[in-house]
Amino acid sequence: PEQPATATDAEADNGRVAIVGGGLAGSLLALSLARQGVGVDVYERRPDPRLGGDAGGRSINLGLSKRGIQALTEVGLIDEVMPLSVTMRGRVIHSPDGGTRFQPYGKNGGEVLHSIDRNELNRLLLDHAQRHPQVRLHFDHRLAHVDKDRRELELESNGERVRVRPSWVVGADGAFSRARQEMQRGERADFQQEYLEWGYKELSLSALPDGGSQIELEALHVWPRLHGLFVSHPNRDGSHTLTLFLPFEGPDSFATTTGEAEVKALFDKYFPDLVPLLPNLVDDWMSHPTGSLTTIRTGRWHRDDWIVLVGDACHAVYPFYGQGMNSAFEDCSALMAALARHGQNRAAAFAAYEQSRRPHTDTLAELSKANFVELKQKVKSPWFVARKRLDVA
Ligand code: FAD
């Protein structure tokens, strides 16, 4: 096999931090470190998202809440982020008969969440990170191997292997993190991965020709059914991104809904009120991938003073609590605070960071699972049942 390049860059990389993954957590952390004057190299396996609109079939818009807002405030970006978002004042529950009910957020109402385009936020974070001369962004660079003893990363870029020897490393490469796998290889590491038996598919509900919204704009919409669940986030142009959660297998599942007739039958049966709103339903269905959902718990999140994990790489959760990105951002704040507190003792900073975050992310994993049941079971709420009886009568 082709020999990877030797670490010719090794000396040049001294003192610089390597971040593996330029997604939400990686780009925010690059910006945070750069603001402290630290030199950062971000290695991202995908091409630069600012050059093309590849969402990779992943969730297009996300709910930003308090913890994420706090982290974005700390890097001075919140005033630029907020105008990109749509305020969600509560959730609208859609019953099978087309009836709706609005539930404001917070005990007394008045609390809000913000719907934001994942790619727009990522691009903004990358732009701001790149404004710092000490930040270098390397797209089309996939982490392939970690040599822990030599403290080197081996990256694959356009068929070439490149070795770098950074001062230390952050694994921000998502739920299926290569950094995590490589870091934990041969170690006494805990690792637990669960897949939900339901997957997801995204569809779009377009805006009206005048830019208005077909359904209430400033809300998260939920179509709870025992057999399937739709959630929608609003976009600034009046459209909404719908995410359908459905079993992978069995009757009326992703496995059985493969042709035009099956798609139409599924919607007629479970979501008839959505049918007139989705004229491109069948095309959308066929062209959008089906994603899987995983929960990952692991430990440790670091090795010595050299490598540390953030975001989904150390705690992927089901999306039903809407806190994955928010907690990934909170990791970045917590890591920066731990580094500031522990000065030169980076191993102590990494350990303190993990200790402070893990109880919260473990709880989040449980809450995210519980909210899956809670959202589905809305269908059994007294209001739902009452409406159904009324309609039957
Ligand atoms: P990612 O965003 O996955 O970024 C990881 C990056 O690493 C990617 O850019 C990837 O290309 C790169 N990478 C991977 N492997 C390598 C490699 N070997 N070398 C180099 N680069 C690599 N969160 C919320 O807070 N609110 C929501 O409303 C919400 N809704 C969601 C809905 C759905 C359907 C899903 C699936 C998730 C949702 N989330 C939500 C969760 C949120 O998307 C994640 O928690 C968040 O993206 C985690 O950020 P991250 O930077 O850790 O990982």
For residue 369, the domain's CATH number is: 3.50.50.60
Per-residue model confidence as pLDDT tens digits over 157-211: 999 999 999 999 999 999 999 999 999 999 999 999 999 999 999 999 999 999 9
Question: Where does residue 335 rank: exposed (0-12), middle (13-18), buried (19+ CB within 10 A)?
Answer: buried
Nearest CA to ligand 1 atom 46: 325
Nearest CA to ligand 1 atom 3: 174
Residue 330 predicted with pLDDT over 50: yes
With cut-offs at 50, 70 and 90, classify the pLDDT of residue 295: very high
> CA gyration radius for the chain?
22
Residue carrying structure tokens 């490598």? 307
Asked if 141 and 45 touch (Cβ cutoff 8 Å), the reply is yes
Asked if 305 and 347 touch (Cβ cutoff 8 Å), the reply is yes
How far is 38 from 187, CA to CA, in rounded Å?
A: 29
Least confident of 13-22, 26-35, 187-196, 347-356: 13-22
pLDDT at res. 374: 83
How far is 26 from 310, CA to CA, in rounded Å?
A: 8
pLDDT at res. 373: 87
In a domain, 49, yes or no: yes
Comparing CA positions, the residue from 45, 67, 63, 41 lying closest to residue 54 is 45
Average pLDDT over residues 28-52: 96
Residue 3 predicted with pLDDT over 70: no
How far is 308 from 302, CA to CA, in rounded Å?
A: 4
**DSSP 3-state of 377:** helix
Amino acid, single-letter form, for residue 52 = G
Least confident of 45-54, 147-156, 293-302, 326-335: 45-54
How far is 38 from 47, CA to CA, in rounded Å?
A: 24
Phi-psi region of 158 (alpha: psi -120 to 50; beta: other; left: phi over 0): left
Residue carrying structure tokens 């010719």? 8
- The rounded Å distance from CA 55 to ligand 1 centre is 11
Query: Hey, which of 200, 325, 326, 371 would you mutate to test ligand 1's pocket, going by the most ligand atoms within 8 Å of its Cβ?
Result: 325
Residue length of the chain: 393
Least confident of 101-115, 268-282, 330-344: 101-115
- The rounded Å distance from CA 309 to ligand 1 centre is 13
How far is 107 from 57, CA to CA, in rounded Å?
A: 35
Average pLDDT over residues 102-110: 85
Comparing CA positions, the residue from 235, 195, 204, 198 lying closest to residue 219 is 235
Residues 240 and 214 in one domain: yes
Per-residue model confidence as pLDDT tens digits over 77-96: 999 999 999 999 999 999 98
Query: Hey, which of 19, 20, 24 would you mutate to test ligand 1's pocket, going by the most ligand atoms within 8 Å of its Cβ?
Result: 24
Comparing CA positions, the residue from 267, 241, 272, 242 lying closest to residue 252 is 267
Residue 216 predicted with pLDDT over 70: yes
- The rounded Å distance from CA 393 to ligand 1 centre is 47
- Count CA within 13 A, CB hemisphere, residue 240: 26
Residues 150 and 277 in one domain: no
In a domain, 300, yes or no: yes
Residues 61 and 122 in one domain: yes
Q: Which ligand 1 atom sits closest to the C-alpha of 313?
A: 52
**DSSP 3-state of 102:** strand
- The rounded Å distance from CA 24 to ligand 1 centre is 7
Residues 183 and 122 in one domain: yes
pLDDT at res. 378: 67
pLDDT at res. 247: 97
- The rounded Å distance from CA 197 to ligand 1 centre is 20
What is the CB < 6 Å shell around ligand 1?
Answer: 20-26, 43-46, 59, 62-63, 142-143, 172-174, 178, 200, 243, 311-313, 319, 322-326, 328
- The rounded Å distance from CA 244 to ligand 1 centre is 18
Residue 313 predicted with pLDDT over 50: yes
Average pLDDT over residues 352-362: 98
Least confident of 4-8, 207-211, 215-219, 302-306: 4-8
In a domain, 106, yes or no: no
In a domain, 351, yes or no: yes
Residues 121 and 179 in one domain: yes
In a domain, 132, yes or no: yes
Q: Which ligand 1 atom sits closest to the C-alpha of 43?
A: 20
Q: What rounded mean pLDDT belongs to the chain?
A: 91
Query: Hey, which of 20, 27, 59, 125 would you mutate to test ligand 1's pocket, going by the most ligand atoms within 8 Å of its Cβ?
Result: 59
- The rounded Å distance from CA 317 to ligand 1 centre is 10
Report the number of secondary-structure helices (H) and strands (E) in the chain: 12, 19
- The rounded Å distance from CA 23 to ligand 1 centre is 6
Residues 136 and 26 in one domain: yes
Beta strands in the chain (DSSP E): 17-20, 40-43, 61-64, 86-88, 90-94, 100-104, 113-117, 135-138, 142-147, 152-157, 160-164, 168-171, 190-205, 220-224, 229-234, 240-247, 291-299, 302-303, 307-309
Pairing relation of β-strands 160-164 and 168-171? Answer: unpaired
In a domain, 156, yes or no: yes
169: tokens are 């490393």
pLDDT at res. 383: 61
How far is 55 from 44, CA to CA, in rounded Å?
A: 14
- The rounded Å distance from CA 388 to ligand 1 centre is 39
In a domain, 98, yes or no: no
Residues 257 and 201 in one domain: yes
How far is 215 from 221, CA to CA, in rounded Å?
A: 9
Least confident of 147-151, 163-167, 386-390: 386-390
Residue carrying structure tokens 């929960």? 295
In a domain, 229, yes or no: yes
Residue 386 predicted with pLDDT over 70: no
Phi, psi of 230 (to 5 degrees): -110, 140
Residues 260 and 326 in one domain: no
Residues 60 and 188 in one domain: yes
Average pLDDT over residues 95-124: 91
Residues 180 and 200 in one domain: no
pLDDT at res. 24: 98
Amino acid, single-letter form, for residue 349 = A
Residues 341 and 356 in one domain: yes
Q: Name, in order, each residue with C-beta under 8 angstroms of 177's C-beta and a sequence gap of 6 or more.
A: 20, 21, 171, 309, 312, 313, 314
What's the domain range around 219? 195-292+377-392
Nearest CA to ligand 1 atom 15: 173
Residues 284 and 315 in one domain: no
Domain count, the chain: 2
294: tokens are 């995983």
